[in-house]
A and B are shown apart, each in its own frame.
Chain A
């Protein structure tokens, strides 16, 4: 398996002095913390992306991209296709059209 730049190199620990060992340990800890921070950043991005592409339905309210909408017409036809909240939940790409045609109206909360 090819070694990446982050692959730990084998160390001859016995040949190192105590100071050198301490320095190595500090260096390893720092790189470990940096990695944890990167993973956490990535998780945030994944969260945001999944949030953007999901439709959450609660009763007659639909949340999408951090906004909450009211489904004015519980069932409607769009280009011959019957749209319900279940269909919107399964296919988030239809939400934009539903907003444009006035089937979904954003709820402004004070």
Chain B
């Protein structure tokens, strides 16, 4: 039974007429995808997005009359593949006909895909839940498993998330972690100090990196628990005297940087820092995610479905700063 109203019928009885209205229905609380927003989700029609990075080495030299050209211009490819995902939910709307939510049924209409319950599940419940599933299980922690034909993939095994990309880039040498504390302190004040030390260690890696961090980077992403620890630590460390920090989530010495807790990174010790233009998220066919298809292979059990593609990542791994903890 894909539509469960057993407890509703037990409590409110059967064939109650229209006992409830849509205004009486509370939706379960769902976590929106903050990671999508922080990574600048953009719609696209492509399944692979391509860019390139141009660079040139030394061009400056002392004058001499002889021609002595220096400098090699490089154009390196960058690409991000979108990964395909789907929603697929089957309903048996007849279950509600003799229940307190029978207003959602339309017995005069045989076309169950136009019943209120079908529209409600499609437009209100499924899409929001899909975004929560993505945020909590796939956006950072997802590791795509091989498809088992005929079986739905498990949560966390449907999409290769940001954590996997970072781990792979560390192994390939594209991302070089900057060692922070061997383990983050649970004392908020100590944690603020450790994060400040880590940012300074990132700056110390090169003058180019120092310039990027001090002028371009805007956020340090981490789990919400670590972000809350940072906020409390800032309050205890700095906001006890006259000169108080206005925003307890921004760093004292590098005020352009602020800490942002992501639900997707829960229970992880990694901290991630880069500039806004380097973070990217794409979605192909957003209309499909919102305007789902309805299949009537079985006229009594409409199946709501939507296929779409998503990507989440960064363009230039050399401008990504992470610590060594996972």
- Are B201's CB and A75's CB within 8 A? no
- Are A80's CB and B204's CB within 8 A? yes
Bound complex: CA A2 to CA B177 (Å): 60
Interface size class of A (residues with CB under 8 A): 10 to 19
Bound complex: CA A76 to CA B170 (Å): 9
The answer to whether A77 and B178 touch (CB under 8 A), given A82-B205, A102-B325, A103-B324, is yes
Contacts of B177 in A (CB 8 A): 73, 76-77, 103
Contacts of B182 in A (CB 8 A): 100-102
Chain B residue total in the interface (Cβ 8 A): 14
Contacts of B179 in A (CB 8 A): 76-79, 101, 103
- The residues in B between 151 and 207 inclusive whose CB is less than 8 angstroms from any CB of A are 170-171, 173, 176-179, 182, 201-202, 204-205
Contacts of A75 in B (CB 8 A): 173, 176
Contacts of B204 in A (CB 8 A): 77, 79-80
Q: What is the CB-to-nearest-CB distance from A38 to chain B, in angstroms, rounded to a whole number? A: 44
Q: What is the CB-to-nearest-CB distance from A88 to chain B, in angstroms, rounded to a whole number? A: 14
Q: What is the CB-to-nearest-CB distance from B217 to chain A, in angstroms, rounded to a whole number? A: 16
- Are A73's CB and B170's CB within 8 A? yes
Contacts of B171 in A (CB 8 A): 73-74
- The residues in A between 80 and 110 inclusive whose CB is less than 8 angstroms from any CB of B are 80, 82, 100-103
- Are A76's CB and B325's CB within 8 A? no
From B171, B202, B324, residue with most partner A Cβ within 10 Å: B324
The answer to whether A102 and B324 touch (CB under 8 A), given A76-B178, A76-B179, is yes
Contacts of A100 in B (CB 8 A): 182
- Are B201's CB and A80's CB within 8 A? yes
Q: What is the CB-to-nearest-CB distance from B272 to chain A, in angstroms, rounded to a whole number? A: 15
- The residues in A between 10 and 55 inclusive whose CB is less than 8 angstroms from any CB of B are none
* Top 10 A-B pairs, shortest CB-CB distance: A80-B204, A77-B178, A75-B176, A101-B179, A76-B177, A77-B205, A78-B179, A101-B182, A100-B182, A73-B177
User: Could you jot down 6 A-B contacts, CB within 8 Å?
Assistant: A73-B176, A75-B173, A76-B176, A76-B178, A78-B179, A101-B324
Known A73-B177, A82-B176, A82-B205; 18 more pairs at CB < 8 Å: A74-B171, A74-B173, A76-B176, A76-B179, A76-B324, A77-B178, A77-B201, A77-B202, A78-B179, A79-B201, A79-B204, A80-B201, A80-B204, A100-B182, A101-B324, A102-B182, A102-B324, A103-B324
